[in-house]
Amino acid sequence: MSETAFKVKDYKSDLKPIWCAGCGDYGAINPFYQALVENQLDPKDTVIVSGIGCSGRFPYFCDTYGFHGVHGRAVPTAAGMKIANPELNIFAVGGDGDGLGIGGGHLPHVARKNVDITYILLDNSIYGLTKGQSSPTSPLTMTSKTAPYAYVEEPLNPLAMLLAYGASFIARGFSGKPKDLKALFSQAIQHKGFSVVLIFSPCVTFNKQITFKTMNEIVKPSPEDWDRSNRLAAMEKSLDTDSYWTGVVYQDERPTIHQRVAEITERVGRYNNFKELIDKFA
Amino acid sequence: MSETAFKVKDYKSDLKPIWCAGCGDYGAINPFYQALVENQLDPKDTVIVSGIGCSGRFPYFCDTYGFHGVHGRAVPTAAGMKIANPELNIFAVGGDGDGLGIGGGHLPHVARKNVDITYILLDNSIYGLTKGQSSPTSPLTMTSKTAPYAYVEEPLNPLAMLLAYGASFIARGFSGKPKDLKALFSQAIQHKGFSVVLIFSPCVTFNKQITFKTMNEIVKPSPEDWDRSNRLAAMEKSLDTDSYWTGVVYQDERPTIHQRVAEITERVGRYNNFKELIDKFA
Amino acid sequence: MASPDLVVRIGGEGGEGVISCGEILAKAVARGGLNIHAFRTFPAEIRGGLAVFQLRASHGPTRSLKQDLDVLCAFNQEAYDTYVDIIKDDGALCYDPELCTPDERLKGKSSFEMPLDAISREVTEGTRAKNMVAVGAMIRLFDIPLELAQNAVAEWFDAKGDKVVAMNQKAAEAGWHHSDEHFKPLHRSFERHPERDQILVTGNEAAALGALAAGVQFVPGYPITPATPIFEFLCKELPKFGGQAIQFEDEIATLAAGIGASFAGKRVLTATSGPGLSLMSETLNLASMAECPLVIVNVMRGGPSTGLPTKTEQSDLKFAIYGTSGESPRCIMAPFDIYDCFWQVIRAFDIAEKYQMPVILLTDQALAYTSMNIPRPELGVFEPVKRLAPPLDTEREGFQRYANTESGVSPMPIPGQHDLPYMGTGLEHSETGAPNYTPDNHEMMTAKRFRKLKTLGKHIVQEPSEEVEPEGAEIGVIGWGSTYGAIREAIEMLDEQDGVKVAHLHPRILSPLHEWRIRRFLGPLRKLIVPEENYTGQYAHFLKGKFGIKPIEVHKCRGMPFSAEELYRAIKEEL
Amino acid sequence: MASPDLVVRIGGEGGEGVISCGEILAKAVARGGLNIHAFRTFPAEIRGGLAVFQLRASHGPTRSLKQDLDVLCAFNQEAYDTYVDIIKDDGALCYDPELCTPDERLKGKSSFEMPLDAISREVTEGTRAKNMVAVGAMIRLFDIPLELAQNAVAEWFDAKGDKVVAMNQKAAEAGWHHSDEHFKPLHRSFERHPERDQILVTGNEAAALGALAAGVQFVPGYPITPATPIFEFLCKELPKFGGQAIQFEDEIATLAAGIGASFAGKRVLTATSGPGLSLMSETLNLASMAECPLVIVNVMRGGPSTGLPTKTEQSDLKFAIYGTSGESPRCIMAPFDIYDCFWQVIRAFDIAEKYQMPVILLTDQALAYTSMNIPRPELGVFEPVKRLAPPLDTEREGFQRYANTESGVSPMPIPGQHDLPYMGTGLEHSETGAPNYTPDNHEMMTAKRFRKLKTLGKHIVQEPSEEVEPEGAEIGVIGWGSTYGAIREAIEMLDEQDGVKVAHLHPRILSPLHEWRIRRFLGPLRKLIVPEENYTGQYAHFLKGKFGIKPIEVHKCRGMPFSAEELYRAIKEEL
Ligand SMILES: Cc1ncc(C[n+]2csc(CCOP(=O)(O)OP(=O)(O)O)c2C)c(N)n1
Ligand SMILES: Cc1ncc(C[n+]2csc(CCOP(=O)(O)OP(=O)(O)O)c2C)c(N)n1
Ligand code: SF4
Ligand code: SF4
Ligand SMILES: [Mg+2]
Ligand SMILES: [Mg+2]
């Protein structure tokens, strides 16, 4: 690497993370810095977009461009950024409430557009920032401030959903395994198309049911020879809710929206000047 | 049947449908009337909620209670109605744009709540009412008023999505096969939990690519002995996009949100009076 | 005084070809060298309901719809029933006796049989070309050569092949001959100027052309009546300027994507209508707070809620100004006619980029679906306003994206271009963009954001509003948006018919208020009239709040634009 | 004049136990028979940032926060730095010398060492009980028996078991003794009334209790600061009244579900804050158009956009009134203190159900997170207002759900109860509910919907606003919402300290305007002052638009409520 190579410190901002001590999100941001180093993304060309939540504070702690939008809209904001300016490296980051609850409606569409961004979902099965309400991935057995007696909804299965949406890269990790995360981030960055890194990232303050400990018991790395291109096999894995399979679960290569748009632009050609268009109305 | 039984005419309203001649939606509403007859739902206890679109006009043509809300919100409106007043028979109806585009974010949550309503999705792979723009299920090869040169997004796979969401009853039909539809509606009505009837319902005016004719070529009724309880097998079918498998693809029995809520209410008991609660703040 | 205009209304069932008939007619008449004003109104359904096309043509200016008809061309009984009363006393009905039966309500006005179905059957195979028969029959009235109509027919059916073109031209020809033989009393002669180099566009087209002229780069969109044609137009044309027009899954994603693109340095526009703008409310606020420039064209329709999607209303003004929580600056503009749609979109971009805020341009269904011949817009040497960029030598360390400047405008780096990473954010923030909720900071940053409106307010002082201030006028009218033409014509009528001078001010920037200019206008007036196409008098309420005046408010909330005659009567009542 | 109050502010890092310390203190002091006013402010982060609890206690009324402190209890240096300047000249600092170093800014005010960490370490294992040491130390100042604090400690830690309770009680006791020995000069003696039967609640709790008292049946919700506690409270308590409180995936679904439930005949409430209300904009409009009653409690926070989630502001007023496209009627209310939160929620339900429209109740973070002792609300024989039901003999055929009645209110059948199926709809519709876009119909139905506001306006004429109108007052204040207490106390100060009489009107229904009442109030006044916790003077703008007056506007946009002292000075300036 050349002398001018970016190092971890070049990606760390001056703001000290305000997450609680032990929060899973620390386990995600550190390997993220490392993956940026590994891929030598220039901070000047990089934007991290986030939603609202504890997880939404992520970009404040990175010394790249950042955008902290409104609750649930990180993904379409990032998509617009990328489609309009494909030269940039774009990340979207948010929590389970942000990404699967209020913002859940955007995922299918960014997936089918195959926008070349990387979406990092920090799932803690709880609303952290608002202090402990049920989230779309909270298990039925979990009580919370909004489910004081019992929860009345089954948890969503984000892995199965993203497979159904046709996301072209889906990886799953755990912030208790930061080394693995670095590799997943790196591959996601290198993937051309919509890549998602689903991370279980425990909330030590409000989620007393799914913790580093309980997760460690069910985490199972995918087999070495796992066939990433087999969507049905990936779906089968997603249905196994007793284990938490990690690794790159699915990947396919197909044109991104930017490539498709570029192909059209190429094909239809350009006006020489504005007058040429105006003439059509004469 | 007794003399006072409800007949088709009791379910038809005075308003004549304003759909174009030949519109697929006629093929859906007629078997719907028949399924209401078969199940003898009292119009007084029945509400049909719809979104905006040609399909959204459905309830105006039924002589039950009806609610024509805003674009994309039929499903959560219907869910609120049912959770608050579980005595009613509730239907939600809407198009592919309404239900999978703007309103797509609500489906996972109504599915996981397992609200006991029946959702009828009239998919024509186009925005009909606004006169022919691409929709979430328009194929890549289809041009439209908003994709004049080529579409740049892959179509969604609603069947795979609903399976991933854990909807407890999923049927698929075609408005070119109204007899089959009647049976699907009837079973959906009888199912306890969130039931979805996905109907391909051609737009003869704006969709020149997917038509009654092209659909007839790929429609395949599911085998007689199809095992409805096998979610993975259903997913496999959903990935077969060369055929259009019809019938009840998946069904499971699990508590509805109303049952879960009732169980809680039972368990926590009741205050005898308001004072009992106020006392806690003394 | 005999009107120099010819006003023809064609009415029939939605889907029957009323609109295509009118479009072809309009094109031919405009090319024939007359000024036209062509208005459409649809049912909100795909089929059924009354569709209406009204064509007004004149050698003088045609600034507004006219209320009273010279000719009603009724394709069916409903059209007759609904409009027979507005045929002028010296006007006439043209109708197909197979489809419509005139009755005593015609009150001795002339009527002409126009057997559309029969003629169509005669010259083609069926009745499908009936609307082309009407094209031919009507074009004769305007003194336009049949050839011009035939060209327009050919262009309209071009994609369907020569056979279809030929069949429809045959029908038009037959209609022309029928008219030539039987409609003599209706034929007008005009002073025509076919040599003029003008274009014929709708308000929606003019706005979309304006966006392209302004150099729009990214157009996220979601269809909604009556704004859809802007997006559809840009889907077709923007790629040929190297930009992207992309459909999103809803208006929230649309605006979020727009903000993303704006942050990434692009010029962004989206077009929507009431329900869509409502959905954008939260995200719009983010654009104000994060200071991302963008332009929203809000084509107002009849409200509230889903309301009357295909009808017109001026009822989103207060919503545009106040339509989101807390207090955040936006600029609200309204073009006053079709030509102005073009120019005001360009200006909206300049304001958005200069002041780093969202600009909402309020047009309405009447403007959007009206077509007029307008001068060919000449861009000349066009210099779009650029965002304030950080000086070249700006230090990365301690860079203040949200610096508390005198104008309120702070330097905005662009990712990829400037090595000045910062956080754009919807949280209250310090000058660097870091979260900061202290009382002093909030006070300072709120003031900074609102100072941009003040700076803009000072800036617009120098800009012209559209105005007439005849010497000695004691009565004045302040209007906004598409009512311009009707107000102007009403004032001309008062001058010509009653010898009364009335002043007229029509600001294009509605918020911030053009305070100084309005105050000067109010100075000599004894009475102020504020006509609006809404129920509550939204702009009047502002003026009252600001200037402590009590204007006479004229409200129309009927889904239809004001006519000059209506306003003439309203003003006259106050003399 | 020596203040009869004791004002103590505890400040420290978020997560350090400042808030629990304050809560326990407040409970004990209120039970000890004093009037209290306890205000909290948090950082928007889970950890870090300054958390503040301020307790004011008195034997007289404690209607507002006080600005100046008798005692600052600083848990860390930041708390000292931020608040040292507002300690009164005869006030004092209590601080932990390990964590905070006083400097010259103390300017000779007294200071007392309060080694929280050390005492905690001494009597328990670590420093975790430091905040309980503070509880004990402070309770002594208020002349409250230690026993009351110990009970409150026990209740607070109840769920954590006896050991934890005992440990914390030990810490509190140690704090008490420290105070007893060393803080003598700070100890007050009060006239206490521990025998009073009162309750201690926050504004959020009062609103939630009001909803239960009003018979709410369905509460769809989505968490958002500072409204979350209302929803959480109802999740816990509503099942015990047989209703359902259900979390949805966002605010759009929340309100859609609420409309569904309202259509199905239920009494519905949801609580939200700015960004959530923004998201509801489109759906809210539907509730107005389809005429579905429901109540939205909007707890205002600092804006715009994500803004200052944990701070207070009165900046959603215009948005509440105008916050959606087109023109649709809503009623906007604002309770003026905690007790009033309870009653106004009940009233909001009555208005919603009677007029079949959404009612938005504006509270704010300051009210929401302030607790006060209030009289125990006695419901008595409580008759909730019922929706207008169709007469028993109504015919199914031709039934008019949206009949154009004199009051504007039409009969609303309930599915399952009435055999009168109809279409509820957001499209413009005829009296039966069928789509209808004709000009006459739109005009008629718009007028019908707005007539409900007129009817409501007439109705509120008879209702009391909160007001004082001393004989001969030439200066008046109109306020709204939570500023009530500070205004009232400022006026009392003017009376007592300066012998000036000032009038005060505080309407609870903000829109429609209580026109007649306000006009009468304005009558004898020479000057009007309108204080608001926002930047632009939203209510003042209304009053100006309506009454053509020029009030003196006092704005505060700092995320903090007005204090009585601030308002006292502001009014005095105008004398
Ligand atoms: C429109 C809107 N509604 C509600 C909120 C309040 N809110 C902030 S963060 C959050 C949920 C956070 O949960 P999650 O996305 O899981 O993130 P986490 O804090 O757990 O990382 C909510 C409901 C908001 N900011 N905006
Ligand atoms: C918020 C909002 N945005 C846009 C629209 C305009 N609109 C009405 S229907 C529709 C799409 C209809 O397509 P679909 O749901 O597939 O129904 P179809 O007409 O094909 O049955 C749109 C975009 C609207 N009514 N509301
Ligand atoms: S509350 Fe939970 S998610 Fe938020 S910072 Fe603390 S541990 Fe992390
Ligand atoms: S436009 Fe298409 S979907 Fe709509 S009514 Fe006509 S055929 Fe049916
Ligand atoms: Mg979370
Ligand atoms: Mg469709």
Question: Could you say which of D48, D247, D251 has the minimum Cβ distance to residue A133?
Answer: D247
pLDDT of residue C469: 85
Place of tokens 């002349």: D143
Between D469 and C164, residue with greater pLDDT: C164
Local confidence band at C3 (pLDDT 50, 70, 90 cut-offs): low
Mean pLDDT of C112-141: 93
Q: In this structure, which ligand is nearest to the CA of A200?
A: 5
pLDDT of residue A1: 43
B199 C-alpha to center of ligand 2: Å?
A: 17
C463-518 pLDDT, tens digit each = 666 788 888 899 999 999 999 999 999 999 999 999 999 999 999 999 998 888 89
Report the distance separating Cα D214 and Cα D344, nearest Å: 10
Two domains, one topology: C6-186 and C464-574: no
Q: In this structure, which ligand is nearest to the CA of A130?
A: 1
Q: Which residues of C touch B72 (CB under 8 A)?
A: 250
- Above 50 in pLDDT, residue D357? yes
Between C352 and D515, residue with greater pLDDT: C352
- Above 80 in pLDDT, residue D315? yes
Exposed / middle / buried, residue B255 (Cβ in 10 Å: 0-12, 13-18, 19+): middle
pLDDT of residue C476: 97
CB pairs under 8 A between A and D: 62
- The reply to whether CATH 3.40.50.970 applies to domain D200-381 is yes
Pocket lining for ligand 2, CB < 6 angstroms: B 52-55, 71, 94-98, 122, 124, 126-130, 135, 203; C 222-224, 251, 275-276, 279, 306
Question: Could you say which of C15, C250, C305 has the minimum Cβ distance to residue B72?
Answer: C250
Question: Could you say which of B100, B164, B264 has the minimum Cβ distance to residue A149?
Answer: B264
B59-113 pLDDT, tens digit each = 999 999 999 999 999 999 999 999 999 999 999 999 999 999 999 999 999 999 9
- Above 90 in pLDDT, residue B177? yes
Indicate the SS3 state at residue C372. Answer: strand
C143-158 pLDDT, tens digit each = 999 999 999 999 999 9
Among residues 518-557 of chain C, which lie with CB inside 8 Å of chain D? 534-536, 538, 541-542, 544-546, 548-550, 557
pLDDT of residue C67: 85
What class does CATH assign to C464-574?
alpha beta
pLDDT of residue B29: 98
Residues C235, B146: C-beta atoms closer than 8 Å: yes
D427 C-alpha to center of ligand 4: Å?
A: 19
Report which secondary-structure segment, H or E, holds B112: helix B107-113
Number of H helices, E strands in chain D: 19, 21
Report the distance separating Cα C148 and Cα C136, nearest Å: 10
- Above 50 in pLDDT, residue D227? yes
Contact in structure between C526 and C474 (CB atoms under 8 Å): yes
The atom number, within ligand 2, closest to the CA of B129 reads 19
Residues B155, A112: C-beta atoms closer than 8 Å: yes
3-state secondary structure B25-57: HHHHHHHHHHHHHHHCCCHHHEEEEECCCCHHH
Closest-CA residue to D524 (of D451, D466, D472): D472
Judge if ipTM > 0.95. Answer: yes
Contact in structure between D271 and D265 (CB atoms under 8 Å): no
User: Residues with Cβ < 8 Å from D331, sequence gap 6 or more?
Assistant: D348, D351, D352, D355, D357, D358, D359, D360, D453, D456, D509, D511, D512
Q: What is the mean pLDDT of chain C?
A: 94
Report the distance separating Cα C148 and Cα C157, nearest Å: 15
The atom number, within ligand 4, closest to the CA of B124 reads 3
- Above 80 in pLDDT, residue D2? no
User: Residues with Cβ < 8 Å from D110, sequence gap 6 or more?
Assistant: D91, D92, D93, D185
Low-confidence spans in chain A with pLDDT less than 50: 1
Q: Write out the E strands in A71-159.
A: 89-95, 118-123
A126 C-alpha to center of ligand 1: Å?
A: 10
Pairing of the two strands D466-468 and D244-247: unpaired
Domain extent listing, chain D: 6-186, 200-381, 464-574
Q: What is the mean pLDDT of chain D?
A: 94
- Residue D391 DSSP label: P
Residues B77, D260: C-beta atoms closer than 8 Å: yes
Mean pLDDT of D219-243: 98
User: Residues with Cβ < 8 Å from C429, sequence gap 6 or more?
Assistant: C402, C423, C435, C436, C445
Exposed / middle / buried, residue C397 (Cβ in 10 Å: 0-12, 13-18, 19+): exposed
Question: Could you say which of A80, A264, A274 has the minimum Cβ distance to residue C260?
Answer: A80
- Above 70 in pLDDT, residue D479? yes
- The reply to whether CATH 3.40.50.970 applies to domain A8-253 is yes
C22-34 pLDDT, tens digit each = 999 999 999 999 9
pLDDT of residue A3: 58
Contact in structure between D226 and D204 (CB atoms under 8 Å): yes
Query: D6-186 has which CATH code?
Result: 3.40.920.10
Contact in structure between C314 and C362 (CB atoms under 8 Å): yes
- Above 90 in pLDDT, residue C126? no
- pTM exceeds 0.80, yes or no: yes
Percent of chain B's residues with pLDDT above 70: 99
Place of tokens 């926002």: D534
Neighbours, chain A (3 or more CB pairs < 8 A): B, C, D
* Interchain CB contact of A205 with D (< 8 Å): yes
Residues C212, A277: C-beta atoms closer than 8 Å: yes
Residues, Cβ < 5 Å to ion ligand 6: B 95-96, 124, 128
